Copies of this chain bind each other. A is one copy, B any other.
Amino acid sequence: MRLQPRFSPMQTITPQLVREAAERIRPLARRTPVMTSRSLDDRAGLQVFLKCENLQRSGAFKIRGASNLILSLSPAELARGVVAFSSGNHAIATAIAAKHVGAQATIVMPEDAPRSKLEATKALGARIITYNRALDDREAIARSALSDTGGTLVPPFDHPMIMAGQGTAALELLEVSPDIDALVVPISGGGLLAGCATIAKSIGPGIRIFGVEPELANDTALSMAAGERVTIPPPESIADGLRAPAPGLLTFPVMQRHVERILLVSEAEIRATMRFLLERVKILVEPSGAVALAAVLFGMLPLEIESAGVILSGGNVDLDFLKTL
């Protein structure tokens, strides 16, 4: 499916866009805590600063991007509403931001999306269009929802305003911990990493940037190695927020420019990290939210790095899953 973003690919993210986003999203996104832990530092062998987006409103960083885009729309655009496609955190984030500005949100969700997320999205006043993953043509539904409403698409990552919004997580982290040697960020489509890398390199050009993916969802690692975007079959990782099969058209060149290396973590390392965060730091992250720290805990950063900022991207996980840890 290719839906036209509001910005052309030439208009990309800048540090200034991230700074503007930080002002814009203030009414909607929470300034999340940056946590530290001696037992974590001891185990990792370096100083770690955790940016806790699992404690963000709606339980994930997604509200930063969705609200940045939606709060930048004109009254005329808002009157036509917004459209998003998501089975998860991005759906709820879009619905929250739309409700805040009084715009109608239309969310296209697979009919087998988690019941709790369908209900939560509906409770926020969004119109839900469900489709059958096997039978329906998602692209046709997408086109139809957009043309019916004349609304604005809120893509999950591939848009300068989405990237800029996500980048505010790193901006806040660097306001608290400006002297980090490295920034470590999980990757799905790359919006969070592109935004965070852009602002981090602007504030501290020496900050080394690492992206992290599950071994089972290594599309960005493959793409970086190939020098072009590679699409993989639908990934099966427990990190269900990181299942985008390819990096974005707009996010990929930003990652190519700023990211030193893509680190890959195993499913077992993700589980162990979730368990460590619960036992020692007393916070709950979802599998996707644990991958960046997993790379740090399991010694994948270069040895000379003495301090790292790590984005814990979200905390929305079914408690039944915890039994498997």
Contacts and interface: CB of A to CB of B under 8 A. Distances in A.
A257 interface: no
A325 interface: yes
A277 to B, nearest CB: 9
Given A33-B33, A55-B35, A319-B325, A282 B284 contact: yes
A322 B322 CA distance: 8
A300 interface: no
B282 A278 contact: no
Nearest to A116: B279
Interface in A261-285: 275, 278-279, 281-285
Query: Most chain-B Cβ atoms within 10 A of its Cβ — which of A57, A278, A323?
Result: A278
A38 interface: yes
A54 interface: yes
Interface string A225-263: 000000000000000000000000000000000000000
Contact of A323 (B33, B281, B323): B323
Nearest to A34: B33
A59 interface: yes
Interface of A: 33, 35, 38, 54-55, 57, 59, 275, 278-279, 281-285, 315, 319, 322-323, 325
Given A278-B319, A282-B284, A282-B285, 20 more contacts: A33-B33, A35-B55, A38-B57, A54-B282, A55-B281, A55-B282, A55-B283, A59-B282, A275-B319, A278-B284, A279-B319, A282-B283, A282-B315, A283-B283, A283-B284, A284-B284, A319-B322, A319-B325, A322-B322, A323-B323
